[in-house]
């Protein structure tokens, strides 16, 4: 017991000394810690309403407990499998397309020899990222939203019939994913571009002297060097597979494409805010986050088993 007490005292002394010697660094990180506590951890107190019949008049604490009632209601609901299928389908499709495309773009940027052209191309690729979701969806409707849209006008000029892109459910996933890739590919490639810039030029020079072609240099030098970055990004992306962007889907959604566009995030908004079923929507949101948590752990363990790179 005395040994444990002595150890705790020693650690407390070392922590106090560290704070005293590096107080400026702790002050620098203090606003970030306060932000996380207030907006990320403190709201967890309200998660308990998922297990209660929340009544605003009674408050969170005094509302009656109902256990797993809201979870069973969600699992047994008519929309459960459709919501899960749409959420995982759109997110999986986005990962399948969105993970390799920034890597390819970053590699292509690295292979450009003209610095001026490279800078111009990178700037153009970054630009869509800074457009708001409202502007992006407005552009989508301008290009695809009606018979008189730009794409349908071009199809009509070529002799084809107009296509109902925004009202036909089979096009929704493709439009959502590929417009998302167009918007984010440039900004997402920055991380890989930074990783590539850290590769020693001697490796490329040695490979070039040995007669390696450009494709071989990419495959045997560039890709292996940025592989740890690729693994980390993949793990983090897989950990958010149940989180499909609410704003864009909600703005693109209509009664005709809802069969393929209704996901958990839009369902929670409609049930939780529009129908004021706060406990039920909290249960659905908690279920969503728990699934993400376990997927993150599983993906990290898989990465750890097959390679040396992982989050922990």
- The CATH number covering residue 91 comes to 1.10.3720.10
| Domain interval for residue 1 | 1-53
Residue 17 has a pLDDT of 78
Residues 150 and 17 in one domain: no
Residues 74 and 168 in one domain: yes
Residues 192 and 243 in one domain: yes
Q: List all residues 6 or more positions away from 268 whose beta carbon is below 8 Å from its beta carbon.
A: 281, 284, 285, 288
Summarised one tens digit per residue, pLDDT across range 181-225 is 999 999 999 999 999 988 888 888 888 888 888 889 999 899 999
Residue 80 in domain: yes
Distances 36 to 30, 31, 77, 246 between C-alpha atoms, Å? 10, 9, 34, 22
Percent of the chain topping pLDDT 70:
96
Summarised one tens digit per residue, pLDDT across range 107-116 is 999 888 888 8
Cα atoms found within 13 Å of the Cα of residue 49, Cβ hemisphere only: 22
Residue 76 in domain: yes
Residue 292 in domain: yes
Residue 124 has a pLDDT of 92
Residues 1 and 79 in one domain: no
Residues 127 and 183 in one domain: yes
Residues 151 and 201 in one domain: yes
Contact (Cβ atoms closer than 8 angstroms) between residue 235 and residue 310: yes
Residues 190 and 270 in one domain: yes
Whether the per-residue pLDDT at 7 is higher than 70: the answer is no
Residue 176's pLDDT band, with cuts at 50, 70 and 90, is: very high
Residues 1 and 87 in one domain: no
Residue 138's pLDDT band, with cuts at 50, 70 and 90, is: very high
Whether the per-residue pLDDT at 2 is higher than 70: the answer is no
Q: Three-class SS of residue 282?
A: helix
Residue 62's pLDDT band, with cuts at 50, 70 and 90, is: confident
Residues 122 and 179 in one domain: yes
pTM of the complete model beyond 0.75: yes
4 CB neighbour count, 10 Å cutoff: 8
Residue 246 in domain: yes
Residues 13 and 160 in one domain: no
| Structural domain total, the chain | 2
Residue 104's pLDDT band, with cuts at 50, 70 and 90, is: very high
Q: List all residues 6 or more positions away from 112 whose beta carbon is below 8 Å from its beta carbon.
A: 118, 121
Residues 163 and 206 in one domain: yes
Summarised one tens digit per residue, pLDDT across range 12-35 is 777 777 778 888 888 888 999 999
Summarised one tens digit per residue, pLDDT across range 217-262 is 999 899 999 998 999 999 888 888 888 878 999 999 999 999 999 9
Average pLDDT for residues 263-279, to the nearest whole number?
87
Residue 60 in domain: no
Residue 5 has a pLDDT of 65
Residue 209 in domain: yes
CA 274 – CA 99 distance, rounded (Å): 35
Rounded mean pLDDT of the chain?
Answer: 88
CA 122 – CA 128 distance, rounded (Å): 11
CA 191 to chain centre: 15
Residues 75 and 48 in one domain: no
Residue 232 in domain: yes
Residue 61 in domain: no
CA 292 – CA 235 distance, rounded (Å): 11
């Amino acid at each position: 017991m005395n040994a444990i007490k002595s150890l705790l005292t020693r650690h407390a002394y070392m922590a106090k000394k560290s704070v005293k010697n590096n107080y400026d660094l702790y002050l620098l990180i203090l606003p970030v810690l306060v932000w996380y506590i207030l907006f990320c951890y403190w709201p967890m107190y309200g998660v308990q309403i998922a297990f209660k019949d929340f009544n605003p008049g009674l408050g969170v604490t005094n509302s009656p407990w109902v256990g797993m009632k809201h979870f069973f209601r969600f699992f047994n609901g008519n929309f459960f499998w459709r919501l899960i299928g749409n959420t995982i389908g759109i997110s999986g499709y986005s990962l399948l397309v969105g993970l390799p495309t920034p890597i390819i773009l970053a590699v292509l940027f690295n292979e450009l020899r003209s610095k001026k052209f490279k800078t111009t191309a990178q700037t153009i690729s970054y630009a869509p990222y800074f457009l708001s979701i409202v502007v992006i969806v407005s552009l989508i409707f301008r290009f695809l939203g009606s018979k008189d849209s730009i794409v349908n006008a071009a199809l009509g000029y070529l002799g084809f019939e107009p296509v109902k892109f925004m009202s036909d459910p089979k096009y929704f996933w493709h439009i959502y994913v590929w417009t998302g890739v167009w918007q984010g590919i440039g900004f997402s490639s920055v991380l890989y571009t930074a990783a590539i810039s850290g590769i020693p030029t001697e490796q490329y020079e040695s490979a070039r002297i040995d007669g390696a072609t450009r494709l071989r240099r990419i495959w045997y030098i560039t890709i292996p060097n940025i592989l740890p970055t690729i693994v980390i990004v993949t793990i983090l992306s897989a950990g958010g597979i149940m989180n499909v962007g609410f704003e864009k889907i909600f703005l693109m959604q209509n009664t005709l494409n809802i069969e393929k566009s209704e996901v958990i995030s839009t369902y929670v908004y409609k049930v939780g805010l529009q129908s004021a079923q706060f406990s039920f929507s909290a249960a659905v949101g908690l279920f969503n986050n728990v699934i993400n948590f376990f997927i993150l752990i599983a993906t990290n363990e898989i990465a750890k088993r097959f390679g040396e790179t992982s989050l922990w």
